[in-house]
Structure 1
Amino acid sequence: MPVTLDRREGPYGEVVLRRRDDHFEIIANGTFLMDTSDGRSERLLVDAALQALRASRPARAADAPARPGALARAADAPDRPSVLIGGLGVGFSLAHAAADPAWGRIAVVEREQAIIDWHREGPLAALSASALADPRTVLVHADLVAHLHDPRVPDTYDALCLDIDNGPDWTVTEGNDGLYAPSGLAACARRLNPGGVLAVWSARPSRDFEASLRNAGFHGVRTEEIPVARGVPDVVHLAVRPA
């Protein structure tokens, strides 16, 4: 039986952290979002974005492998691809990006203060403490959709890795569907440098979303599947902003 460790009411509804055996679960408004039992899809989200980024633009020094076993120094970060991770979640995507010296600046946008607290001083710190302490990492407390649209934020990135809901066809939280709408995809394109990659996690494939990406002007649209124990596979939708 799961054990509730914390329950918060916030501006977007209820968010709960539970422990089930040796794993942690995040529940939003009564709907399961994610747990720590298997981070394959979160890691693929980051790796697929980096691979697509390397394929979308000519080789450059920033994409060269770092010394074996060496983490990127803060001074090296401006010369390496930057990434925005949408949704801190259980921390798998952030931890995986921070463990890879190929990435430079790493921004993480999370709107739930409770989730930020669980990572900074709660049970999830064991998964993300070193990544949050990495000099390349910046944690932004904001709603991702609003952050992407905010004209006061000038930052652009080489990759956007977005995992804030269950995907374009099944949103849990009101307002998140705006990310997948034409206006949301246009905002994503504005945040990408030329040749940059948009990677979007989804609990199921979506041909309609692939069409939306093409209609928004993205090139190289494709979907990578992540097998699961039962049911349809998780997927990562990938698209490239034209150079």
Structure 2
Amino acid sequence: MSTTYDIPEVLDRREGPHGEVVLRRHGSVLQIIANGCFLMDTSDGRSERLLVDAALNALDDRPAPRVLIGGLGVGFSLAHAAANPRWGGITVVERERAVIDWHLDGPLSGVSRDALADGRTQIVEADLVDYVNETSDTFDALCLDIDNGPGWTVTDGNAGLYSMAGLASCARVLRPDGVLAVWSAQPSPEFEGTLWNAGFRHVRTEEIPVARGVPDIVHLAVRPG
């Protein structure tokens, strides 16, 4: 008796500045793969939404806060931020041109179309590591979702972002009492320690229940005023 396997369909495959990026469709789900490593898909989005909400909630009642989102991904973080009128400005930094194109006029446009049309939204094509070192702009919240966690980066160059020096750059773009929120596939006590040592305060970890397996994690920390 033969068995038929549901094989993902490759919709686009490109060589970017940091290697290969692929957009696949698996049934009704769209998936982003970078250098053979699964990044994210459109199956849920709960983690991305909680990442944005956790950052906003930590800002209390600050009027019209501005958020910097590291990584466009499948667009859930952007779409969720744009759906909330409390955000005064939403800047998304994405280094892969392919990912931006998939949202502008490709298969992922259904997720982000309304958010991209929102006047508060700005998409910046840049490496986040470079951006936080070079920009003169400042934000009330920085949401990082560019890796599978501090200890499981997509490319080696991202690892420095979670070091003392990288976190100092993150703090540089945050306004006083601004919030850093970092998504991770697993908890990292070591990263929590680095956040404290880098001068952040109110460091804590929130768990996000998922359908299967261990919970996802959001690391939260506040830049001192």
- TM-score tier, shorter chain, comes to over 0.9
Q: TM-score, normalised by structure 2?
A: 0.96
**2:142 matched to which residue of 1?**
160
Counterpart secondary structure, 2:178: strand
5 Å-filtered alignment, 1:136-175, equals 136-150=120-134, 153-175=135-157
Q: Which amino acid aligns with 2:107?
A: P
Deviations, residues 113-168 of structure 1 (Å, cap 9, x unaligned): 00000000100000001101100001000000111011xx2100000011001110
5 Å-filtered alignment, 1:214-233, equals 214-233=196-215
**2:29 matched to which residue of 1?**
23
**2:182 matched to which residue of 1?**
200
Q: In 2, Cα distance between the equivalents of 1:207 and 1:32? A: 24
Deviations, residues 17-57 of structure 1 (Å, cap 9, x unaligned): 00011110000000100000010000000000001111xxx
Q: Which amino acid aligns with 1:157?
A: F
Q: Which amino acid aligns with 1:102?
A: R
2:18 to 5, 12, 18: 12
2:48 to 15, 37, 42: 42
Q: Which amino acid aligns with 1:197?
A: V
The answer to whether the aligner puts 1:125 opposite 2:131 as a matched pair is no
**2:220 matched to which residue of 1?**
238
Q: Which moved more, 1:196-205 or 1:223-232?
A: 223-232
Deviations, residues 56-114 of structure 1 (Å, cap 9, x unaligned): xxx45x2xxxxxxxxxxxxxxxxx10000000000000000000000011100000000
Q: In 2, Cα distance between the equivalents of 1:146 and 1:53? A: 26
TM-aligned CA deviation for residue 14 of structure 1: 0.2
Contact 2:146/2:154 (8 A) holds in 1: no
Q: In 2, Cα distance between the equivalents of 1:86 and 1:162? A: 5
Counterpart secondary structure, 1:109: strand
Q: TM-score, normalised by structure 1?
A: 0.89
TM-aligned CA deviation for residue 233 of structure 1: 1.4
Q: In 1, Cα distance between the equivalents of 2:56 and 2:43? A: 24
Q: In 1, Cα distance between the equivalents of 2:58 and 2:202? A: 9
CA RMSD of aligned residues (A): 0.8
Counterpart secondary structure, 1:175: helix
Q: Which runs of 5+ in 2 are unaligned?
A: 1-6
Q: In 1, Cα distance between the equivalents of 2:105 and 2:161? A: 30
Q: In 2, Cα distance between the equivalents of 1:92 and 1:26? A: 13
* Percent of pairs with identical residues: 72
**1:101 matched to which residue of 2?**
85
**1:52 matched to which residue of 2?**
58
Moved >3 Å (runs of 4+): none
Q: In 2, Cα distance between the equivalents of 1:136 and 1:230? A: 35
Q: Which moved more, 1:38-47 or 1:226-235?
A: 226-235
Q: In 1, Cα distance between the equivalents of 2:119 and 2:107? A: 22
Counterpart secondary structure, 2:59: helix
**1:32 matched to which residue of 2?**
38
Q: In 1, Cα distance between the equivalents of 2:154 and 2:72? A: 16
